Structure 1
C-alpha cells in the first residue's frame, strides 16, 4: 500500500516537472520570437556578426578613434546625476585603457580639494588622462596631476530639485530633520541646518553647486563674485550639462568630444526612489531662491545657454536626438534579453554614427555598479609599477 502511494507521488511530481518544463520552453519561444519580430520591424538593422566581421574591431571606427577627445575631467557635483555621467567617463577610459585619477577609497566622499595624499601619483613625467571624482574644482591644483589639454565638463541640476534630493538622501538630514516634510521644516530655518553634514567647510544645502565649482563660502551672497564664477566656468568648460535635459546635453557634449554614439549610451545610476511626494508651493521655491542665490544664477545661466545651443542646432539635433533615444531603448531591451538571443547586436551606419555592435560585454559595462568598475580600473592601473602611458 505504501509503495503504491509512493509511486503515485513520484508520478505526480514527474508530471508537475514536465508541465513546468513545457511552460518554460513556451515562454522562451514566445519571448524569443517577440524580440526577433520587434528587431526585424525596427528601422535599424540588427544581425549576428558573421565570422569575418567578428575578426575586425568595428566598435570603434578608426576615424572616430583618431579624432576623439580622450582627456576629460568631469567635476562631479553630488546629487546632480553625477553617478550616471561618471559611469560614461569611466567606461570610455576603461575601453581605451586610459589612465584614470581614482581617489583612494578612504578619501571617497570627503569632497575636499585635490591633494597628492588622495591617490596614487602617476609615474615621473606623466599625468592622468581622466578624472571623475567628488573633489572641489581648482584648475591650478588639477593641472599638477591631469593632462593640460584635458576638456573640463560638469553637470548642473535645478537647485530646488537638488535640495529635495539632498534632504532625503544625506544621512545627516535623516537624523536632524525628523519631520516627514523635510523641505518645509528646512525652509522654516535654513541657517539652522546650514552646517549639517558640512563638506570641506561648505554647505550641502546652500549653493552646493557653486561651492564645488570654486565659490567661497564668504562670497555666497556677493553678486560680483557670483558673476565672476559664472564667467570663469563659461570660459573653461566648453559644455555644461543640465540634468533636466540630459539627452540633449550629451548630444552637444558628443559633438565637442567627437565621441562615437555608442559611448554616450547610459543607464541611470543611484536614483533615490524613496522620496515622498510633497506639496511644493511657489513660496517655498522663492524662499530657497533667496537663500541659495548663487546656485540659481549659475543654473539659470547655463540652462539658458544650453537651450540656445539646442535651438541654434535646429532640426538636425532633434533628428540625432531621436536616433540616440532609439538606440538607447533598443540597447536596454537587448541587454535585458541577451540570455535568450545569444547574438551580438549590430547598428547600421546613420548620418550620426558609423556602424557599431553591442555585445554581452558591453551590456556588463553599461549596467555594472560604479564601485565595481572603478575598483577594476584601480586594479588594472596599479597592478604594475607604472601606469600605462597615455594613448
Structure 2
C-alpha cells in the first residue's frame, strides 16, 4: 500500500505539471486528460503498472523480487537428497557455465538462468559482438564458427577471483582454457542434448539448409540425406558445422577432419573428455526431470527452475519419423548418436538413483509449472 501511495503522489505531481503546461487548450482535451489520469489512479496503479502492461507476455517485467507465488513454500524443498547424501542442507551454487546447444531446448534453459542471475544480481559474461561468442562474424555466413576466444568477450576479467564471471550463457564453441581464465574455479558446467534426428530436423529447418543448398524439390531433407556430400561440398558452405554432428561440434569436436569424424575410438575418447569436464548434461526429452536434477545439483529452490515455453516451432518434417531417414542420418552424424547415447544412459542412471521423493518432487514441480505458465504461457 505504501508503494501505491508513493506512485499516486508522483502521479498527482505529474498531473498538475501537465495541466499547467496545457492550460488554454480546449475543454475536451482537458477532460480526456483528466479521465486518463483517473483510470491510472484507480485501476492500473493498484494492480501494478508493469503487470498491467505485460501480464501474460513477459514474466521478466514482473518484479523479480516476487517469489514463492507459484509454488507453496513447503514445496520448495531446499535440500539436497541426491544419491543418498547424508547432508540435508546445502549452499546454492551460483557459478554456472552453460553451453548453449542449438535446437535442444537451450533457449528455455537460458531463460531460467537469466531469471536467476537477475534476481541475485550475478555477473554474466557478455559477447563483444552480437549475441554469441563467435567473434565479429555472422555464423550463418561462414562454414564453422571458431572456438570462444578472450577477445570475443566483453570486459574480460583482469586478475583475481573477484573479477571472474558468475555465469556464461550465450552461444559458443567450448574451449576449456578460455573458460578457466574467465570463470570461477568452482563453476558448474552444464548443457543439454536432444535425440540427434529430432535435433537435425529442427536445425535443418532453422538454418534454411534447403535454400543454402539449393534443394527445391518437395522433400529437401530426404534429398539431402540421400546424398549429403553432393550438397555439403566438404563443409565449405555457410553454417556447415550445424548440419553434421552439430551437438558434438559445440564441444569443439573437429568434425571437419574426415580422418577423425567417423573414427569411433576417437569419438569415444572425445566423449570421455566431455564427461570429465561437464558436471551435468540434461536431456531434452526429459526436460522436467532434467530441471529437477539440475535444481538438486545446484541446491536451488523450485521457483528458480520455472519456465515459459520458448521457440516452439512447427515445420513440415517435424514429426517425420522414417526409419530409413534416421539410418541415413546416423551414418552422416555418427558422433552425435554416440554423444547422445552416452549421456542419456548416464542421465537415466542418475535419475533412477534418486529414490521415491524424486517422483513426488516431479509431480509438485508440474503443478508449480502449470501455475506459472497460466500467467506466462509463452515468451
Q: Distance in 1 between matches of 2:180 and 2:129?
A: 22
Out of 67, 70, 82, the position equivalent to 2:91 is 67
Preserved contact between residue 210 and residue 221 of structure 2 (Cα < 8 Å): no
Out of 166, 179, 191, the position equivalent to 1:142 is 179
Tell me: CA distance 1:180–1:114, structure 2 relative to 1, closer, same or farther (3 Å). same
Q: Distance in 2 between matches of 1:277 and 1:82?
A: 18
Out of 194, 211, 223, the position equivalent to 1:185 is 223
Q: Find the residue that maps to 1:214 and give its secondary structure.
A: coil
Q: Distance in 2 between matches of 1:155 and 1:319?
A: 23
Shift in Å, 1:301? 0.9
Q: Find the residue that maps to 1:73 and give its secondary structure.
A: strand
Query: What is the aligned partner in structure 2 of residue 104 from structure 1?
Result: 128
Count of residues paired in the alignment: 279
Preserved contact between residue 107 and residue 118 of structure 1 (Cα < 8 Å): no
Q: Distance in 1 between matches of 2:321 and 2:107?
A: 26
Provide the alpha-carbon RMSD of the alignment: 2.6
Query: What is the aligned partner in structure 2 of residue 166 from structure 1?
Result: 203
Out of 283, 288, 292, the position equivalent to 2:324 is 283
Shift in Å, 1:262? 0.7
**TM-score of the aligned structures, taking structure 2 as reference length:** 0.68
Preserved contact between residue 148 and residue 172 of structure 2 (Cα < 8 Å): yes
Q: Distance in 2 between matches of 1:173 and 1:71?
A: 40
Out of 142, 147, 153, the position equivalent to 1:113 is 147
Out of 366, 372, 377, the position equivalent to 1:331 is 372
Return 222-231 or 63-72, whichever deviates more.
Answer: 63-72
Tell me: CA distance 1:190–1:307, structure 2 relative to 1, closer, same or farther (3 Å). same
Preserved contact between residue 72 and residue 152 of structure 1 (Cα < 8 Å): yes
Preserved contact between residue 159 and residue 299 of structure 1 (Cα < 8 Å): yes
Preserved contact between residue 136 and residue 213 of structure 1 (Cα < 8 Å): yes
Out of 159, 169, 189, the position equivalent to 1:152 is 189
Q: Find the residue that maps to 1:206 and give its secondary structure.
A: coil
The aligned runs of 1:1-391 (5 Å cut-off) are 67-106=91-130, 108=132, 110=139, 111-125=145-159, 126-176=163-213, 177-194=215-232, 195=235, 198-199=238-239, 203-217=241-255, 218=257, 219-276=260-317, 279-335=320-376
**TM-score of the aligned structures, taking structure 1 as reference length:** 0.66
Q: Distance in 2 between matches of 1:230 and 1:237?
A: 10
Q: Distance in 1 between matches of 2:368 and 2:327?
A: 39
Shift in Å, 1:124? 3.0
Unaligned ranges ≥5, structure 2: 1-67, 80-88, 133-137, 140-144
For residues 34-74 of structure 1, the C-alpha deviation after alignment (integer angstroms, 9 at most, x for no partner) is: xxxxxxxxxxxxxxxxxxx99xxx9xx9x889810000000
Unaligned ranges ≥5, structure 1: 1-52, 337-366, 369-391
Q: Find the residue that maps to 1:113 and give its secondary structure.
A: coil
